[in-house]
Structure 1
């Protein structure tokens, strides 16, 4: 194992993954939302820099190759769990989140089963786009949950769920400060569209990995 800047960035990204959840244990909302969003974005940026610097400085290593997808998965899985919990269990979020988590578990299981042959499940360009889509969607959703908290509690004295219900029933007016739009709803809706796109890419790349692994899953004829 070689300790160089690209590998250190990858390790920091891995450590940042649980840090996103820890923000909600030690800080009150909405500060927890903003700290988690900042930490998540900072960690997501390292996902580009570690690979770029490793190639630029010719410091690519087996350790970095192994740890990079693990750090990505940890970030996505933990962040999705946090957002789902603070979104009021929105079914439009739960469905794509479930698909993403299901795929990540299955692909990890395939890699573990294949062992030495796991190299055939190399990260593809589409898989990299999938990860990017996931991280952008999660960042936007974090923004949406933070704005919902501000609008619901700080400005209306309601929980986000109570505030959303009051708006839907016409008992409260949405706060419109984003070019005439309800900021929280706008960010959340954009995030939901992005997470569905990410879920679609997740399914496609997951199927591609399964297709590549299928020949090694067949029982040998006796």
Structure 2
């Protein structure tokens, strides 16, 4: 087994997911239905790679600190950048900006909270609900991508986005509550 974490297949898949963000956004915003479909296909592959890199890391025992750091960053970048791009091109309605902003707020806040607690040697383990939250976010964004091509998906898309927003806020609250004793402790 290689010692270089950049050469581990799960990490290469994660890095490819990050690299795919720019072409996904470009294709989605190009204004051409065919390119929007290509964006959707590339997005689905990127979203599925989140499961694949974790599966391969477990199956092959290819864990690394780099992979543990990059995987959640890749998810947050994929969701966050795509949310901003889709808000910019008006693929999100004004009301859908509420769950979109909630998702962005929670993802940035909890990342900062984890960094803060990491300095205090406190680990907040990822919950099963947080894993499902990521899955619902990824599915909701796939629906947002396809909605201009299939307007009948308007209501299911909106409902999925609100569900993703609600799950995101709830898991954020759970992490904040779990970390509160460490945040409110009077230590030097």
Partner in structure 2 of residue 19 of structure 1: 23
Query: Which one of 50, 75, 86 corresponds to residue 47 of structure 1?
Result: 50
Query: Which one of 191, 197, 207 corresponds to residue 173 of structure 2?
Result: 207
Larger radius of gyration: 1
Query: TM-score w.r.t. structure 1 length?
Result: 0.76
What are the ranges of 5 or more consecutive residues in structure 2 without an aligned counterpart?
none
Determine helix, strand or coil for the equivalent of 1:121.
coil
Structure 1 residues 207 and 118: CA distance shift in structure 2, 3 A: farther
Partner in structure 2 of residue 198 of structure 1: 164
Structure 1 residues 215 and 113: CA distance shift in structure 2, 3 A: same
Q: Show the 5 A alignment for 1:28-177.
A: 28-87=31-90, 90-117=93-120, 120-145=123-148, 147=149
**What is the rounded CA distance, in whole Å, between the counterparts of 2:59 and 2:122 in structure 1?**
23
Q: Number of aligned residue pairs: give it.
A: 184
Partner in structure 2 of residue 157 of structure 1: none
Deviation at 1:214, TM superposition (A): 1.2
**What is the rounded CA distance, in whole Å, between the counterparts of 1:119 and 1:65 in structure 2?**
16
Moved over 4 A (4+): none
Structure 1 residues 94 and 220: CA distance shift in structure 2, 3 A: same
- The answer to whether the 8 Å contact 2:91/2:144 transfers is no
**What is the rounded CA distance, in whole Å, between the counterparts of 1:221 and 1:58 in structure 2?**
38
**What is the rounded CA distance, in whole Å, between the counterparts of 1:19 and 1:122 in structure 2?**
32
- The answer to whether the 8 Å contact 1:17/1:71 transfers is no
Determine helix, strand or coil for the equivalent of 2:20.
helix
Deviation at 1:206, TM superposition (A): 0.4
Query: TM-score w.r.t. structure 2 length?
Result: 0.89
CA RMSD of aligned residues (A): 2.0
- The answer to whether the 8 Å contact 1:92/1:192 transfers is no
What are the ranges of 5 or more consecutive residues in structure 1 without an aligned counterpart?
148-182
Deviation at 1:88, TM superposition (A): 5.8
- The answer to whether the 8 Å contact 1:120/1:212 transfers is no
**What is the rounded CA distance, in whole Å, between the counterparts of 1:60 and 1:119 in structure 2?**
20
